[in-house]
Structure 1
Amino acid sequence: MSPRTASPARLATPGGVLALEPLVPDGPTVELLHAWLTHPRSRYWDLLDADPDRVRRTFEAVAAHPRCDAWLVRLDGVPLGVVETYDPGAVLLAGRYAHRDGDVGMHLLLAPARTPVPGTSAAFMAGTMRWLFEQEGVRRVVVEPDARNTAVHRLNARAGFEVHGPLELPGKTALLSTCTREGFEASELGPAAVPVPEPEPGRAGGPAPAAHLGLHPMRVAHRHLCCKALAEFAHERLVHPEAVGDGAFEVGADGGRVRYRFRARRTGLEHWVLDEGSLRRTVDGADAEPDAQALVTELAPQLGIPPHLLATYLEEIASTLASAAYKLVHRTRPSAALARAGFQEVEAAMTEGHPGFVANNGRIGLGVTEHDRFAPEAARPVRLVWLAARRELSRFDAARGLDEDGLYAGELDPEVRERFRARLTALGLDPGEYRFLPVHPHQWEHRVTVSFAPDLARRDLVLLGETGDEHQAQQSIRTFFNTSRPGRHYVKTALAVQNMGFLRGLSPRYMRDTPAVNDWVADVVATDPVLAASGFSVLREVAAVGYTGDAYHRAAAAGRADEGPHTKMLAALWRESPLARTGPGERLATLASLLHVDACGVPLVAEHVRASGLAAEEWVGRLLDAYLAPVARCLLAHDLVFMPHGENVVLVLHEHVPRRVIMKDIGEEVAVVTDRPLPEGLERIRHVVDPATAALSVHTDVFDGVLRHLAGILEAEGLLPSERFWAVAARCLQELVAADPGTGERFPLLAPRFSHSCLNRLQLLNTLQMVDLADQAASLQYAGTLENPVAAPVPVGA
């Protein structure tokens, strides 16, 4: 067989549909190949120290060779590995073995996987062998794996290979083996693959929008989400894994009929790190496939989900699985590439959602086509829809020094503003009686044209069209970054989609004070010398607009209806862009990106640490000085708390090292926790709680919500033991308090224990609305206390 005569193929296997296509060493493919070949599991390919350019040259040489070829392999759309084919009579084995006509040489590279799924390697081998034997003239497959590679020897035996013995080749002692068509057909894997036709194209001629919903990506998604659920439910003491020896644990469910067994390690703050490849589920003693919805149903009595909300939670689990499957197929950039990527490239590449919540990508209300258009992982350009709203039926609020004309002058080109005014004039309307309102395209299609049809007919609302600016959805899904004009503001829109315990609307009434709140917080931060020295700052939400002229607002104003979701359907706000805060050589990434782990199991934070040239402990110290210290300072000195989870914190990195952070989402998330004086009109942010509860803004939101995950990742990667991580955190807080001793006694950040406030318990109790936004502290769910990992004395400078 000449490899050049081979053709692409699709074969159905028990593990999914295997597709082989010619490997073209372009940029994205080289990124993948580099990640695979430099992973420790690929050591037998002898490219562990290769840079991307060497990988590219290696496969360009294969493509140029007349007797060799390379194929990229996918399983249900998920990149799975590489097949190299060659003529063994002319390449590598020429004169070294008893060559026969019809021989074809083969090399297999199975991509390393964060979440290994049983049967994947067998599907890879079965499909590849079936494809080879379908090629004209192929009678025998020849392989020469390294003699030390016992895993591939076992796989070869399952496919019917006959071992001929050791063979000395350049750089290795190989185990020469061959397989005939008859040997393969009679093997365990012989019947396991059959050709299938190409799928029907989508409406635009490309893949169908639901192409990611295949067997393999969903099996990976189920296994990963089951592991996350078991880890987080154990952390919140909803389940209690039993040690069964050799680092393994078991969790029973459904009266003991169902058992989940896995290997795991426990680190600080009762954090569980599961080996995802070790997970096994049995039902009545028989092996069963891990299934996240089944796990939730089996554990429902232990989880405390109200029966009338179980189906809703299961739907959020299903949507989270679908989103994960989409990312496995479409979001394939490895961490090594992301460590050098731009702000919005990194934002689109995130795959996990919230690190603690199990159902973290609910998005109930988005269809599969809309997901492919609007989800952050789709990274599609989005053009917002603009409406005109009558001034007397809407409100506009802006930050100090900004008015409506000033906002529009910065956000809309002159010709766009003129086009909008001309549209109103052409309808016989006075442009001076209207203001402009950006709307999410999904909201326009599904809500405005239906729920606000009378308002459109009365021309209290008027469709203006698009501006031409393209935006990218952020991880919060309803907030957009302007990719056409990156210096322009973020735009946050109302979106009637249920996600992580809330319908994602925006209240015009609530946003009335948002710009003033942002001004005050920005002033507090800017005038604090400790915060100024750290470079800590906030992205102000500078303007808000909302429509209030609908029947829903009128009914609420008359006291005949609650101010519910329908009064939060048409509003938007503008937030400053962080790009103006960066200097030469600085790059942006959200704090959430540090918790990202790619499909190979490589954490993005590990790539930053290694590329920085710093010891991991010093790198973590820089991060905590930039993040933990300012958040704690705001509480200790100003009674001010944020919601400092990963997506609300933007890191400024220089040479892969955190320099400072920028906090965002101020208006909805900030609170003052004492009765300290506040400017008039800002009382809505006051939420007085006792000092221990106030300290949870650090203990829960920073330690438990971010740092325990980061510590677990760094320890699993062999970069920094968990104990040393927390020692660095303790030293950070001790130095902060030592610099201003009077603040350290106000809130018990260094107390021996703190209340274990649990996020999933909140969502499980009421997945439709996790907390009462007017009194969030009263909604908290506790599970005893946790040992404070920073309580032990750590001498400054230790």
Structure 2
Amino acid sequence: MRLTLEPLDADRDAALLHQWVTHPRSVYWEMQDATVAEVASEYRLIEENPHHHAWLGRVDGAPAFLAETYDPAHSELAGLPELRPGDTGMHVLVAPTDTPVHGFTRRVFAAVVEHCFADPAVRRVVVEPDARNDRIRALNREFGFRELRTITLPTKEAALSVLTNPKIKGSHLTPENLAIAQRHLVIKAISEYAHERLLTPAADGELWAVTTPAGDTTYTFAAERLALDHWAIDAASVVRTVKDEPADLDVQELVAELAEVLGIPDALLPTYLEELAATLASACWKLQHSTATVEDLLSADYQAIEAAMTEGHPGFVANNGRVGFGADDYAAYAPETGSTVRLHWLAARREHTRLSLGEGMTAPYDVQLLVDHGLDPEEYALVPVHPWQWDNKIAITFAPDLGRRDLVHLGEGSDDYRAQQSIRTFFNTTDPTAPYVKTALSIQNMGFMRGLSPRYMAATPAINDWVHDLVTGDPTLQGCGFTVLRERAAIGYTGDAYHRLAGRSAHQKMIAALWRESPIPALADGERLASMAALLHRDADGRSLAAAMIEDSPLDARAWVRSCLDAYLLPVAHCLLAHNLAFMPHGENLVLVLRDQVPVRAIMKDVGEEVAVMGDQPMPEDVERIRVEVDPDIKALALHTDVFDGVLRHLAAILHVDGVLDEGDFWAEVAGCLRRHADEHPGLADAAAAYDFFRPTFRHSCLNRLQLRNTLEMVDIADQSQSLIYAGTLDNPIA
């Protein structure tokens, strides 16, 4: 028996529907006395309604049932306090028959529920059967619907009921998935902690061993030590023994066992363990639901690649914390779920709002929305907010501001968005050429409470304009196609009690947003996008996307790496030498433009928050915030730490371990890229000597040490260089 659903054709199907909805058994459909014309008219209205859809169900090709799906927020249920983002409504009518088949209704019901949850944005299905319809209420309960209460609708008393998406109710948390996730994260923990010299594996014959301070637990493994003290551990080789007995791998137990040598404060250990648990939960979800192979990603668009990423930050062990999200929040908002999100709009009184605009920019929102809600655009500005932020923070934490109407909630917007890997930055799928929106989001993730400061962002558009003008005015950068995505507008609300306090707090970073240019309009024919992070991705079978790109490209491995470095490394190094300008060019801050699977140019983003000028050149007053004073030997870490150790170390290891390109050849290409730049820019010889990219060693700046020291706020954003922690030096692989 094959069940399918297709969009209903009101004109074609009106006569058939009339037979179904006027049948005595369909009394609760409330169309007993309708004519064929009235049925057709009713379903034409549904066809024209963007928030309501009708579906004809077939069994083995024959019409057999009717289904409707709708957005409860745009229905007679609108305004009910029980409704949540991600809800979809459902109606089902099985064709009346004199020869019922046992179990058929349940088969149809299951098919329609599955159809609803096929949309990754759907978190719950909502139904409102007539409270007198005991039969359908019993069927709903059988399928797991939870009756919330009886509500009064225009034509009936209804039993409001909800069914949570089974994907988010722990189905991914299986022993099989957990074992895979634990092994992966334990390996990453040992590798990165050893890289940062928190652990010192001891040689044990052909293996390596890590023994806990208590001496009763040992981890043994096979590994290859690569450049930059990178530990490439053989996943299958890792064995844990406790008191000489084999034991399961468990990253939380590993951290607890090693807490003394990791140096994490006792008070913060539970928070770090919670972030590890959340990272494991995310990994299990991806193992269960992320099915994209590297072959799929070779032709995928930018957002499909973003949703397929499974690792998170390559260096941080606890990298998918997202502390604050519940299970249904994860399904609705995590980038790997590919869920569609609609942002909410707040009207904020202008006297309490900082709106900064880039050169030539007007307000990046439709002021008509204010007018439609009876608000004066001269008195109010608009702030987009994350739906989780509205539900969990703003509606309660800023209740006085809402009561004063200093803030006015206008509901969700009409455009569909999808989250980038950075969680709180959204790509507009309704109009891909429209700006990204970066929102505040008060969840704890990877060493920070993720908010946005209105004070800090006030200069963001001006900084972006200045960096953009510098980049577009540099012939070398233009020659290699390097560009930046400008953050063109920033807004933040400061009228709350928290901003009247002398000290600074996360509460001052809860209502703010910025708009960033989309890279889509700048693409030429035959070009597509992928973040730098995508080059470090492996699919569920462990296959490398970078290796697949090389194999599918017209270039050999060395030539492919050379093109990648010319697109990425060369402009980053040039900005340092020519302008003392440092970016934060890690995986998610940089977008690669691909042609025939080859990276041909790079686009930098997150400019306002993560750019620094380390020299004394003149700058406009409103850009001075990005000037930093650092020691000369720290300047080159903008290349050595952020590029070599933060990105290229991982890419070199992937290509080496997979037999695609020996690490010696990889680093030879890195050296060659920088030497070609030096040969072509003799006028920068003094700067090159000062930065000394080819020095024998450089200071080993460590990321996990920062998070372990203070998992709540690992660095001071306003003075990041003074927060760094070092672990000796690393041998420079291009020296």
Residue 103 of structure 1 is matched in structure 2 by none
Q: CA deviation at 1:764?
A: 0.6
1:502-517 residue pairs with structure 2 within 5 A?
A: 502-517=448-463
1:132-147 residue pairs with structure 2 within 5 A?
A: none
In the alignment, structure 1 residue 463 sits paired with structure 2 residue 404: no
In the alignment, structure 1 residue 343 sits paired with structure 2 residue 302: yes
Alpha-carbon distance in 2 for matches of 1:419, 1:692: 52
Which structure 1 residue ranges, 4+ long, deviate > 4 Å from structure 2?
198-203
Q: CA deviation at 1:683?
A: 1.6
Residue 296 of structure 1 is matched in structure 2 by 255
Q: Cα deviations across residues 558-589 of structure 1 (Å, max 9, x unaligned)? A: x3xx1211111000000000001110000000
The counterpart of 1:249, out of the listed 202, 205, 208, is: 208
Q: CA deviation at 1:264?
A: 1.1
Q: CA deviation at 1:214?
A: 1.6
Alpha-carbon distance in 2 for matches of 1:475, 1:749: 31
Asked if 2 retains the 8 angstrom alpha-carbon contact of 1:346 and 1:589, the reply is yes
Residue 152 of structure 1 is matched in structure 2 by none
What is the RMSD of the two structures over their aligned residues, measured on CA atoms? 1.5
Asked if 2 retains the 8 angstrom alpha-carbon contact of 1:264 and 1:273, the reply is yes
Alpha-carbon distance in 1 for matches of 2:402, 2:734: 57
Q: Cα deviations across residues 331-357 of structure 1 (Å, max 9, x unaligned)? A: 121111112111000000000000000
Q: CA deviation at 1:419?
A: 4.2
The counterpart of 1:646, out of the listed 582, 587, 594, is: 587
The counterpart of 2:283, out of the listed 319, 324, 348, is: 324
What secondary structure is seen at the aligned counterpart in 2 of 1:496?
coil
In the alignment, structure 1 residue 440 sits paired with structure 2 residue 381: no
Residue 535 of structure 1 is matched in structure 2 by 481
Alpha-carbon distance in 2 for matches of 1:383, 1:773: 29
Q: CA deviation at 1:699?
A: 0.2
Residue 475 of structure 1 is matched in structure 2 by 421
Residue 765 of structure 1 is matched in structure 2 by 709
In the alignment, structure 1 residue 237 sits paired with structure 2 residue 187: no
Asked if 2 retains the 8 angstrom alpha-carbon contact of 1:374 and 1:473, the reply is yes
Q: Normalization by structure 2: what TM-score? A: 0.77
Residue 18 of structure 1 is matched in structure 2 by none
Alpha-carbon distance in 2 for matches of 1:341, 1:442: 28
Q: CA deviation at 1:613?
A: 2.5
Q: CA deviation at 1:690?
A: 2.0
Q: Which residue type is aligned with residue 528 of structure 2?
A: R
Asked if 2 retains the 8 angstrom alpha-carbon contact of 1:200 and 1:208, the reply is no
Alpha-carbon distance in 2 for matches of 1:200, 1:431: 47
Alpha-carbon distance in 2 for matches of 1:274, 1:567: 43
1:577-726 residue pairs with structure 2 within 5 A?
A: 577-726=518-667
Q: CA deviation at 1:205?
A: 6.5
What secondary structure is seen at the aligned counterpart in 2 of 1:395?
strand
CA 1:419–1:509: 2 relative to 1, 3 Å: closer
CA 1:235–1:370: 2 relative to 1, 3 Å: same
Alpha-carbon distance in 1 for matches of 2:312, 2:232: 17
Residue 363 of structure 1 is matched in structure 2 by 322
Q: Which moved more, 1:686-695 or 1:641-650?
A: 686-695
CA 1:565–1:658: 2 relative to 1, 3 Å: same
Q: CA deviation at 1:255?
A: 2.0
The counterpart of 1:744, out of the listed 688, 693, 702, is: 688
Unpaired stretches in structure 2, ≥5 consecutive residues: 2-141, 147-161
The counterpart of 2:370, out of the listed 420, 424, 430, is: 420
Residue 13 of structure 2 is matched in structure 1 by none
Q: Which residue type is aligned with residue 727 of structure 2?
A: A
Alpha-carbon distance in 1 for matches of 2:527, 2:212: 50
Q: Which residue type is aligned with residue 676 of structure 2?
A: E
Asked if 2 retains the 8 angstrom alpha-carbon contact of 1:691 and 1:748, the reply is no
Q: Which residue type is aligned with residue 757 of structure 1?
A: S
Alpha-carbon distance in 2 for matches of 1:678, 1:512: 17
Asked if 1 retains the 8 angstrom alpha-carbon contact of 2:198 and 2:262, the reply is yes
What secondary structure is seen at the aligned counterpart in 2 of 1:745?
helix
Residue 119 of structure 1 is matched in structure 2 by none
Q: Which residue type is aligned with residue 223 of structure 1?
A: R
In the alignment, structure 1 residue 383 sits paired with structure 2 residue 342: yes
Q: CA deviation at 1:722?
A: 0.4
Q: Which residue type is aligned with residue 731 of structure 2?
A: E
Asked if 2 retains the 8 angstrom alpha-carbon contact of 1:388 and 1:435, the reply is yes
Alpha-carbon distance in 2 for matches of 1:364, 1:710: 29
Asked if 1 retains the 8 angstrom alpha-carbon contact of 2:144 and 2:163, the reply is no
What secondary structure is seen at the aligned counterpart in 1 of 2:477?
helix
What secondary structure is seen at the aligned counterpart in 2 of 1:525?
helix
Q: Which residue type is aligned with residue 236 of structure 1?
A: E
Give aligned-pair identity as a percent: 56
Q: CA deviation at 1:243?
A: 2.0
Q: Which residue type is aligned with residue 301 of structure 2?
A: G
What secondary structure is seen at the aligned counterpart in 2 of 1:687?
coil
Q: Which residue type is aligned with residue 365 of structure 1?
A: G
Q: Which residue type is aligned with residue 617 of structure 2?
A: R
Q: CA deviation at 1:738?
A: 1.6
Q: CA deviation at 1:252?
A: 0.6
1:143-222 residue pairs with structure 2 within 5 A?
A: 203-204=162-163, 206-209=165-168, 210-222=170-182
1:263-302 residue pairs with structure 2 within 5 A?
A: 263-302=222-261
Q: CA deviation at 1:548?
A: 0.7
Alpha-carbon distance in 2 for matches of 1:726, 1:328: 33
Unpaired stretches in structure 1, ≥5 consecutive residues: 5-197, 792-798
In the alignment, structure 1 residue 226 sits paired with structure 2 residue 186: yes
CA 1:395–1:715: 2 relative to 1, 3 Å: same
What secondary structure is seen at the aligned counterpart in 1 of 2:669?
helix
CA 1:490–1:532: 2 relative to 1, 3 Å: same
The counterpart of 1:452, out of the listed 377, 398, 410, is: 398
What secondary structure is seen at the aligned counterpart in 1 of 2:264?
coil
In the alignment, structure 1 residue 523 sits paired with structure 2 residue 469: yes
Q: CA deviation at 1:483?
A: 0.7
CA 1:334–1:250: 2 relative to 1, 3 Å: same
Q: Cα deviations across residues 384-432 of structure 1 (Å, max 9, x unaligned)? A: 000111111111001011122xx22xxx4xxxx4343121x2xxx4342
What secondary structure is seen at the aligned counterpart in 2 of 1:572?
strand
Alpha-carbon distance in 1 for matches of 2:460, 2:266: 37
Q: Which residue type is aligned with residue 234 of structure 1?
A: A
Q: CA deviation at 1:626?
A: 0.5
Q: CA deviation at 1:204?
A: 3.0
Q: CA deviation at 1:200?
A: 5.9
What secondary structure is seen at the aligned counterpart in 1 of 2:383?
strand
Q: CA deviation at 1:466?
A: 2.1
Q: Which moved more, 1:222-231 or 1:249-258?
A: 249-258
Q: CA deviation at 1:455?
A: 0.6
Q: Which residue type is aligned with residue 301 of structure 1?
A: E
Q: CA deviation at 1:199?
A: 9.8
In the alignment, structure 1 residue 547 sits paired with structure 2 residue 493: yes
